[in-house]
């Protein structure tokens, strides 16, 4: 995932005027950074004819000078920072005594205004400002310090006046905001939050905050169950803060606690009680036994369709009520009906499951759930939805068989259709829009799934330069890794002019609906079945070309918490929390999911099985896999293995073993869940177990040994130490040198990667065998390989420089890539690396224009020497299938070799003998040619940047500076 990611328009070398070059450099310099919240930030240009919002912010403690606001329009933008006004408005009514609210003034573009009027939610967070604030940045983390605040979503449909102005009234730290001043005034005497913190045999504890001052050990508090008082106590203030308190109640304890009850807290100085959240009890043994039973875990959820009826089933254990709303369209349109779901009882027990059966053929009907959790009623899309309308706000009932394209019955996984390609993973990573969006792609369906179905495409004006899938077949790669293609939040699908704009761009690491294809890549996002059909057409076209399809999956965090289906359905269950009940942030995006919890693990496992079976997906790449726990990853591997009579073992799994934090923080909720489930809990199901040794994957990678062995076979991790060893690490604009570009002492990390992490040479990420190794040197994160080697290292940043095939950098690229492509396990590289892809030193192009991100297919001509070298080394890897078989890489002996002839200068001579076949790779990262002896009697495949056609080798071979020689026993 991208945590460090500009805008620049690109043209060909020689076509730049001085003015254009200057403008491009200026754009590079003013690059935007990635927002470490739930999604990247976007800078808005506010139309004069748009609208405005005044957020009246009341803070109990009057800390107004330290506060600011982060606001966004759900599904349209990712957020904009503001400061609070320093003084109250002259006619401000939102006040208590002498404490008067301060204004936060928001301007809206026409697009934002229209979305809000149409019912799209407005999101806000009021937080403490950093000191100092970097006001030149639009990055969330350059502005705010997040301290447990939760997203607040506001419906402004009826709030705008004739001048397109709306008012919002908000009490800091409340979970609700108001558009009516009279309703808002009630919040000035309110319990803004209440939650159970513990449940034992001797009693329960509750933590809460109010907007009225309390007195330590004097203010009376009670717990109510309906109209009945079940416990009374006195407040204990937290740290002397008169608005924050705790209370303990011996009258309610583990013996008589009712999870199904809507317990409320009553504070004597506050008019109305508030529901007490059970967040801290989600990892309680009693909760697990009751709400995560075998029956609950074995059920199918979502809109379960047949022509005769549809069963709507959702797990919402804290809900007081669940309604199903049916619509004629995915957005707007008529409300057809609202019906009450009923609780599902098994043996007289309610396990949190709600159901509704509707007779008739509902194919194509849209639906939402309206759920009451703790008195907060929200309308939400079904988290289990497999189809959706534009913007992913309503699910769609769908007959999946009707979405199959012609010929789909003959499609299957790559391991059946082309077993040789399937077993030698050479993975080309790209964003769908990058593939076809440029003017020189020669493709008609620019930025769409259907671009992959086009055949015979070439660069306009030069029919010798293939593009599209024909190009991929010529190059020889065996898998395409698609950056997120599930439904993500950052592109407004309901605005077709926006969807079809080449610059409506985002990498997609802002998850919204995990089981629904992204709509902006389809020709009609408003019809849920279209995106499914066109996604399948893409898969089928790639399979026909002998290429597998890998999905980039982002289960580690959600785009948001408030307003997101998981949190709307079961508040706080799907995300990890700290000791105070706040969301933890291992993702660097404001939250992290809790894979160790039964229903989260079930969701992940079954979601992946769904994509593998319904869409014939051949592999999965896990974003920030380090956040997930080892037991869950093993459960995923086991479930995929069982598919297709055991042939699912050939479905690939790999991911990033790191996280968005330092790696040493373990959330308290993870520890609590592991402790609760280490011993078997009677009645629970297959997703419950957490072994006593269960760890987060990041704990393996960030350990001193960096050993990934505990992951098990055929779960691979990106070899970050190998990547950095080859070309140097990079973070933001800090680029370091590696083995190929000046720091030859990193040769040990390269050796470790070549042997798939399981050899005895060198140091770095360690594995049990090569099936745990995903070698790479550049992907969408950070600089492209060409930019890393050429621009930053030389402090050259003009576009002309990045387009110039400088010989020394060509040699470095050839040698670095050969080390990657000759590594055991699987090998991954960013699309276009083989033609020296550049983003002009933009290391974080997640929302930059397509003019920067799209593949420039013309570069294959200017960088033909690079392309030809990649193509030949790929051919070598496929020819030595015995050596590079992924299924065979579980055997350590198939992955390792010897490094006789290597020396302290950084020279690597790597010899492998497997199955009677011999392969020798000689890599010289130094600035001088070297001679290597003992190479007679073999065939040369590449030599110092030149492709050789099985040329007989000499006993002594001269390896040029920064050069590579690969030779072996086979004729290829």
β-partners of residue 73 are 122
SS (HEC) of 273-294: CEECECHHHCCCHHHHHHHCEH
Residue 898 has which token pair? Answer: 């010897």
Cis peptide leading into 723, omega within 30 of 0? no
DSSP string, 845-862: -TTS-HHHHS--TTHHHH
Residue-wise pLDDT tens digits, 394-446: 999 999 999 999 999 999 999 999 999 999 999 999 999 999 999 999 999 99
Query: Minimal CA–CA distance to 207: which of 127, 276, 269?
Result: 276
Our CA dihedral for 531, 535, 541, 544, rounded to 10 degrees, sits at -140
For residue 285, the tally of other CB atoms under 10 A from its CB is 15
**Is residue 623 flagged as an active site residue?**
yes
Assess contact for 454 and 444: CB atoms under 8 A.
Answer: yes
Q: What is the DSSP letter of 544?
A: H
Q: d(Cα 675, Cα 669) in Å, to the nearest integer?
A: 10
H or E stretch covering 764: none
H or E stretch covering 518: none
Residue pointed to by tokens 């407005």 = 122
**Burial readout 37-50 (b: 16 or more C-beta within 10 A, e: otherwise):** bbbbbbebebeeeb
Q: What is the mean pLDDT of each run of 10 residues along the chain (972 residues)?
A: 30 30 34 32 45 97 95 84 95 95 96 89 94 87 84 94 97 94 94 95 97 96 96 95 96 94 96 93 94 97 98 97 97 92 96 98 98 92 97 96 98 98 98 96 97 98 98 98 95 78 84 96 96 98 98 96 92 94 91 98 98 98 98 98 97 97 93 91 91 96 96 97 94 80 95 97 96 97 92 64 92 98 98 96 88 95 98 98 96 97 97 96 98 97 97 97 98 96
Q: Are strands 773-776 and 939-943 parallel, antiparallel or unpaired?
A: unpaired
Task: Find the distance separating the first CA and the last CA of the chain, reported in whole Å.
Answer: 37
Q: d(Cα 918, Cα 970) in Å, to the nearest integer?
A: 8
pLDDT at 916: 94
CA angle 645, 545, 859 (to 5 degrees): 135
Our CA dihedral for 292, 293, 294, 297, rounded to 10 degrees, sits at -30
Is the torsion defined by CA of 428, 431, 436, 438 positive or negative? Answer: negative
Q: d(Cα 450, Cα 433) in Å, to the nearest integer?
A: 11
Residue 301 has which token pair? Answer: 């959820």
For residue 784, the tally of other CB atoms under 10 A from its CB is 28
Residue-wise pLDDT tens digits, 771-816: 999 999 999 999 999 999 986 555 566 777 899 999 999 999 999 9
What are the C-alpha distances in Å from 608 to residues 222, 323, 551, 587, 614? 46, 28, 10, 20, 10
**Is residue 370 flagged as an active site residue?**
no
Residue 913 has which token pair? Answer: 């003998």
Q: d(Cα 638, Cα 626) in Å, to the nearest integer?
A: 19
3 state DSSP class of 529: helix
Q: d(Cα 864, Cα 11) in Å, to the nearest integer?
A: 19
3 state DSSP class of 427: strand
pLDDT at 503: 74
pLDDT at 119: 84
Total length of the chain: 972
Assess contact for 199 and 288: CB atoms under 8 A.
Answer: no
- Cα Dmax for the chain: 93
Assess contact for 713 and 825: CB atoms under 8 A.
Answer: no
> What backbone phi and psi angles, to 5 degrees, belong to 56?
-85, 105
Q: d(Cα 495, Cα 497) in Å, to the nearest integer?
A: 5
CA atoms within 13 A on the CB side of 484: 31
Q: d(Cα 821, Cα 964) in Å, to the nearest integer?
A: 12
β-partners of residue 270 are none
What are the C-alpha distances in Å from 768 to residues 78, 601, 625? 41, 25, 18
Q: d(Cα 817, Cα 499) in Å, to the nearest integer?
A: 35
Query: Minimal CA–CA distance to 469: which of 839, 855, 176, 90?
Result: 855
Residue pointed to by tokens 């759930």 = 369
Q: Are strands 335-340 and 342-346 parallel, antiparallel or unpaired?
A: unpaired
For the beta sheet containing 939-943, the strands, ordered from the edge strand earlier in sequence to the opposite edge, are 908-914, 917-923, 964-968, 939-943, 946-952
H or E stretch covering 499: helix 496-499
Residue tagged active-site, from 59, 167, 623, 629: 623
Beta strand ranges found along 178-269 (DSSP E): 191-200, 203-210, 220-225, 228-234, 236-238, 241-249, 263-267
Segments in 803-899 forming alpha helices (H)? 807-821, 850-853, 859-862, 864-879, 881-884
For the beta sheet containing 302-305, the strands, ordered from the edge strand earlier in sequence to the opposite edge, are 302-305, 309-315, 349-359, 342-346
Q: d(Cα 553, Cα 508) in Å, to the nearest integer?
A: 10
**Burial readout 879-910 (b: 16 or more C-beta within 10 A, e: otherwise):** bbbebbbbbbbbebebbbbebebbeeebbbbb
Q: d(Cα 618, Cα 550) in Å, to the nearest integer?
A: 6
CB contact set of 565 (below 8 Å; sequence gap of 6+): 380, 381, 382, 383, 385, 513
pLDDT at 383: 98
Q: d(Cα 493, Cα 490) in Å, to the nearest integer?
A: 9
pTM of the model: 0.90
H or E stretch covering 633: helix 630-641
Cis peptide leading into 132, omega within 30 of 0? yes
Residue pointed to by tokens 């690491």 = 509
Kindly calculate the radius of gyration of the chain based on its CA atoms and give it in whole angstroms: 29
Residue pointed to by tokens 């609070």 = 84
148 Cα distance to chain centroid:
21
CB contact set of 773 (below 8 Å; sequence gap of 6+): 716, 717, 719, 753, 756, 757, 758, 765, 767, 823, 824, 825, 826, 889, 895
What are the C-alpha distances in Å from 821 to residues 481, 826, 866, 960? 16, 8, 14, 20
Q: d(Cα 516, Cα 520) in Å, to the nearest integer?
A: 12
Q: d(Cα 394, Cα 830) in Å, to the nearest integer?
A: 34
CA atoms within 13 A on the CB side of 636: 35
Angle between helices 807-821 and 864-879 (to 10 degrees): 20
pLDDT at 733: 64
Assess contact for 920 and 911: CB atoms under 8 A.
Answer: yes
């Amino acid at each position: 995932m991208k945590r460090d990611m500009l805008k620049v328009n690109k043209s060909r070398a020689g076509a730049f005027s001085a003015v254009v070059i200057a403008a491009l450099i200026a754009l590079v310099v003013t690059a935007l950074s990635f927002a470490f919240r739930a999604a990247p930030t976007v800078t808005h240009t506010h139309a004069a004819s748009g609208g405005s919002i005044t957020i009246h912010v009341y803070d109990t403690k009057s800390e107004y000078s330290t506060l600011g606001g982060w606001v966004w329009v759900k599904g349209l933008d990712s957020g904009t920072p503001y400061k609070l006004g320093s003084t109250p408005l002259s006619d401000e009514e939102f006040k208590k005594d002498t404490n008067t609210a301060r204004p936060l003034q928001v301007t809206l573009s026409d697009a934002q205004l229209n979305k809000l009027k149409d019912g799209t939610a407005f999101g806000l967070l009021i937080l403490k400002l950093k000191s100092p604030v970097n006001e030149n940045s639009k990055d969330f983390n350059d502005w705010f310090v997040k301290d447990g605040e939760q997203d607040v979503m506001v419906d402004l449909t009826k709030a705008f006046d004739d001048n397109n102005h709306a008012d919002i009234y908000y009490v800091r730290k409340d979970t609700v905001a108001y558009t009516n001043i009279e309703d808002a005034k009630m919040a000035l005497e309110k319990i803004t939050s209440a939650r159970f913190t513990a449940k034992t045999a001797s009693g329960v504890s509750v933590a809460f905050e109010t907007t009225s001052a309390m007195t330590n050990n004097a203010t009376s508090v009670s717990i109510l169950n309906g109209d009945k008082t079940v416990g009374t106590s006195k407040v204990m203030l937290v740290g002397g803060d008169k608005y924050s308190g705790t209370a303990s109640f011996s009258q309610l304890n583990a013996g008589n606690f009712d999870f199904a009850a809507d317990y409320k807290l009553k504070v004597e100085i506050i008019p109305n009680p508030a529901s007490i959240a059970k967040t801290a009890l989600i990892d309680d043994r009693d909760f697990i036994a009751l709400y995560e039973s075998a029956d609950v875990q074995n059920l199918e959820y979502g809109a379960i369709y047949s022509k005769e009826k549809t069963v709507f089933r959702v797990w919402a254990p804290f809900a007081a009520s669940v309604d199903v709303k049916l619509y004629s369209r995915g957005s707007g349109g008529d409300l057809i009906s609202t019906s009450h779901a009923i609780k599902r009882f098994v043996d007289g027990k309610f396990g949190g499951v709600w159901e509704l059966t509707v007779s008739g053929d509902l194919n194509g009907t849209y639906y939402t759930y309206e759920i009451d959790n703790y008195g907060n009623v929200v309308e939400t899309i079904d988290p289990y939805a497999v189809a959706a309308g534009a913007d992913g706000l309503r699910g769609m009932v769908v007959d999946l068989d009707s979405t199959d394209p012609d010929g789909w019955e003959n499609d299957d996984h790559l391991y059946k259709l082309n077993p040789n390609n399937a077993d030698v993973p050479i993975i080309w990573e790209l964003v769908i829009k990058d593939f076809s969006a440029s003017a020189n792609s020669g493709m008609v369906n620019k930025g769409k799934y259907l671009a992959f179905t086009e055949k015979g495409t070439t660069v306009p004006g030069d029919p010798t330069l293939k593009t599209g899938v024909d190009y991929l077949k010529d190059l020889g790669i065996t898998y395409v890794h698609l950056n997120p293609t599930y439904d993500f939040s950052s592109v407004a699908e309901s605005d077709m002019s926006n969807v079809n704009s080449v610059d409506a761009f985002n990498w997609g690491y802002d998850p919204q609906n995990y089981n629904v294809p992204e709509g902006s890549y389809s020709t009609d996002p408003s019809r849920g079945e279209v995106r499914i059909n066109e996604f399948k057409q893409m898969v089928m076209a790639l399979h026909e070309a002998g290429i597998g399809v890998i999905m980039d999956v982002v289960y580690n965090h959600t785009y948001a918490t408030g307003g997101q289906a998981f949190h709307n359905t079961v508040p706080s269950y799907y995300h990890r929390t700290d000791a105070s009940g706040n969301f933890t942030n291992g993702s660097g995006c404001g939250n992290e999911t809790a894979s160790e919890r039964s229903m989260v693990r079930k969701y992940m496992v079954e979601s992946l099985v769904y994509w593998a079976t319904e869409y014939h997906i051949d592999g999965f790449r896990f974003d920030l896999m380090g956040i997930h726990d080892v037991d869950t990853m093993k459960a995923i591997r086991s479930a995929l293995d069982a598919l297709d009579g055991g042939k699912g073992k050939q479905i690939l799994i790999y991911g990033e073993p790191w996280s968005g934090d330092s790696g040493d923080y373990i959330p308290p909720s993870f520890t609590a869940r592991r402790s609760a489930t280490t011993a078997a809990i009677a009645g629970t199901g297959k997703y419950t177990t957490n072994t006593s040794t269960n760890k987060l994957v990041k704990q393996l990678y960030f350990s001193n040994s960096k050993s990934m062995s505990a992951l098990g076979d055929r779960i691979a991790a990106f070899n970050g130490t190998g990547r950095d060893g080859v070309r140097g690490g990079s973070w933001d604009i800090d680029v370091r040198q590696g083995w190929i570009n000046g720091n030859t002492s990193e040769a040990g990390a390269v050796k470790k990667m070549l042997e798939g992490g399981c050899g005895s040479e060198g140091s770095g990420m360690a594995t049990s065998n090569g099936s745990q190794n995903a070698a790479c040197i550049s992907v969408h994160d950070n600089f492209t390989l060409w930019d890393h080697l050429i621009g930053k290292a030389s402090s050259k940043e003009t576009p002309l420089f990045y387009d110039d095939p400088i010989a020394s950098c060509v040699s470095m690229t050839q040698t670095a890539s050969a080390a990657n492509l000759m590594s055991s396990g699987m090998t991954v590289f960013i699309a276009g690396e083989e033609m020296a892809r550049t983003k002009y030193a933009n290391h974080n192009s997640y929302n930059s224009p397509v003019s920067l991100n799209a593949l420039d297919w013309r570069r294959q001509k200017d960088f033909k020497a690079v392309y030809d070298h990649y193509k030949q080394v790929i051919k070598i890897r496929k020819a030595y299938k015995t050596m590079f078989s992924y299924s065979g890489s579980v055997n350590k002996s198939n992955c390792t070799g010897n490094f006789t002839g290597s020396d302290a200068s950084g020279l690597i001579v790597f010899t492998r003998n497997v199955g009677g076949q011999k392969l020798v790779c000689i890599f010289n990262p130094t600035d001088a040619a070297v001679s290597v002896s003992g190479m007679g009697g073999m065939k040369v495949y590449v030599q110092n940047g030149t492709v050789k056609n099985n040329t007989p080798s000499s006993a002594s071979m001269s390896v040029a500076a920064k050069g590579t020689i690969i030779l072996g026993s086979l004729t290829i």
